[in-house]
Structure 1
């Protein structure tokens, strides 16, 4: 039913409950034929007419428009606000529960915009909890609905990101290109640059580095033209990732530092914390001689993550990175401690971060001469990698696994890992 149909049905229902005829409701301001057309959904009443009918029917204007009373609307908006606040504060499981409870409220059914807001919030909560399949399912259903242009871009961006994190890179690229590529593309906006940045990372993870390099330049030009903090951060940050992937480490740091400077001035705590971690990761790889300084900064980042709305995966990432920094500074006990903390925060299998943690544990135990444990952790990579689809990103991880197993003297494991790496790229 259309909105006009629903409004007309509510007017008809309340009129009958009040024991009024159409002529009685209409008199003297309106004609009974006009009321009949409204009730049948053939005419959309103006705001003034709706307010008049609400007065005559002794009901709230909110009920005629939305099917709920003003009090019920206030309760729904308050519940949605609490769910969003929980998500922003990093209480992702509580947020997910609140969004689910709100969707079970029958009064939400006719409130299309609020229901879409709730569905989108639930998808974000699922994503933050690491349940990417459920987030994707909700976003695909939302995408089939009539959405505002802004919400359509938001849905595309989160869907592209969820596909990317699920290693479904072809689908991630298709979602982004559907909006951004072609003659029908809208002029650049902050939201479109952010979607473009997500698409850019999908190109990079897929191994299409030439396209990524070209598109990164396009995004940087768009951000410079807009001159807005959101676009500058998104374009520079993802250009940094592309520069790093193509071996331009100092250029990567330059882009990242520019993005970080703008984010600190204008961003939210969650975004600042996540960007700070990623910047420290780049520093550690580009400038290993700064490992002690990066390690100390990472300890401060752990506290920052605990106080902001970062997800469980985010918190796992900071501990794995801290483990890597401790390994580089020679504190192997601390490296093991943080690698195990990080791995413990992840789903049991099927996340590339778990692979990184296990490979690091293998290297640490090899370094301290505990070969049996080193081989066991390196071999466990198979369990973590098996659920992941073949991709260039998986190939890179298998290659790192092969190098680690070669260092450990596991010839059979080395050969298998190299073969899996080749299979991931179709060789």
Structure 2
């Protein structure tokens, strides 16, 4: 949950001005200190602050989420059409988005896209590094990778196997 303090300060409101019978001053203090908001409280606070209630849970508004999804679609289209430089820039900008961690599905798409760009460009080491990072985050402590980690897990595993084989072949000293 994102702290409401930033939003309150942006609107130049005090907690006393926000507090009412549905959201007490004390409850607002707890929310600012990191307590989770219920969906009802998020809706009440968002209506008072004039913002999207999703902002309190994901750090992203619906518009920002839609923009990220559009950027991912454009990056995938650029990659499909052979414009790897454009695809790389778009995927990298999505990965760098500050609140992306609250949407692991979008983060996963962007990281996988970057790995595909590096693979397309022949930078297998960078592709392996991206996929290794992705796998490390998705499967902490050696837990099995969830089935939904990739849209097509078998294809992802085949790509990793090919990249690892190519990297191993490239690392062998010439006779």
Is contact 1:50–1:64 with CA below 8 Å preserved after alignment?
yes
Partner residue, 1:84: 76
For 2:25 and 2:136, locate their aligned partners in 1 and report how far apart those are by CA, in whole Å. Answer: 39
For 1:144 and 1:25, locate their aligned partners in 2 and report how far apart those are by CA, in whole Å. Answer: 42
For 2:21 and 2:91, locate their aligned partners in 1 and report how far apart those are by CA, in whole Å. Answer: 46
Alignment of 1:365-376 (within 5 A): none
Alignment of 1:96-245 (within 5 A): 96-104=88-96, 108-112=97-101, 113=104, 114-146=106-138, 149=146, 150-151=148-149, 154=153, 157=157, 158-167=159-168
Q: What's the CA shift for 1:388?
A: 4.2
Partner residue, 1:338: none
Is contact 1:86–1:92 with CA below 8 Å preserved after alignment?
yes
Shift in alpha-carbon separation, 1:46–1:160, aligned structure 2, 3 A: farther
Matched residue pairs, number?
163
Shift in alpha-carbon separation, 1:63–1:129, aligned structure 2, 3 A: same
Deviations 1:213-237 (A, max 9, x none): xxxxxxxxxxxxxxxxxxxxxxxxx
Shift in alpha-carbon separation, 1:109–1:19, aligned structure 2, 3 A: closer
Is contact 2:84–2:120 with CA below 8 Å preserved after alignment?
yes
Deviations 1:362-409 (A, max 9, x none): xxxxxxxxxxxxxxxxxxxxxxxxx4427xxx9xxxxxxxxxxxxxxx
Partner residue, 2:42: 50
Whose helix proportion is higher, 1 or 2? Answer: 1
Is contact 1:84–1:95 with CA below 8 Å preserved after alignment?
yes
Shift in alpha-carbon separation, 1:25–1:110, aligned structure 2, 3 A: same
Partner residue, 2:20: 27
Partner residue, 1:187: none
Q: TM-score, structure 1 length as denominator?
A: 0.34
Is contact 2:52–2:62 with CA below 8 Å preserved after alignment?
yes
Is contact 1:93–1:129 with CA below 8 Å preserved after alignment?
no
Candidates 7, 32, 35, aligned match of 1:14:
7
State the structure with bigger RCO (CA 8 A, min sep 6), 1 or 2.
2
Q: What's the CA shift for 1:90?
A: 4.5
Q: What's the CA shift for 1:54?
A: 0.6
Q: What's the CA shift for 1:138?
A: 1.6
Partner residue, 1:273: none
Q: What's the CA shift for 1:28?
A: 1.7
Q: How large is the Cα RMSD of the aligned pairs?
A: 3.0
Shift in alpha-carbon separation, 1:21–1:79, aligned structure 2, 3 A: same
**Structure 2, gaps ≥5 residues long:** 140-144
Alignment of 1:227-376 (within 5 A): none
For 2:119 and 2:76, locate their aligned partners in 1 and report how far apart those are by CA, in whole Å. Answer: 14
For 2:138 and 2:29, locate their aligned partners in 1 and report how far apart those are by CA, in whole Å. Answer: 28
Is contact 1:109–1:115 with CA below 8 Å preserved after alignment?
no
- The yes-or-no answer on 1:389 pairing with 2:169 is no
Deviations 1:126-166 (A, max 9, x none): 11221100111222222332568222794972433321232
Deviations 1:77-115 (A, max 9, x none): 2111111122334444442233234445xxx22112223
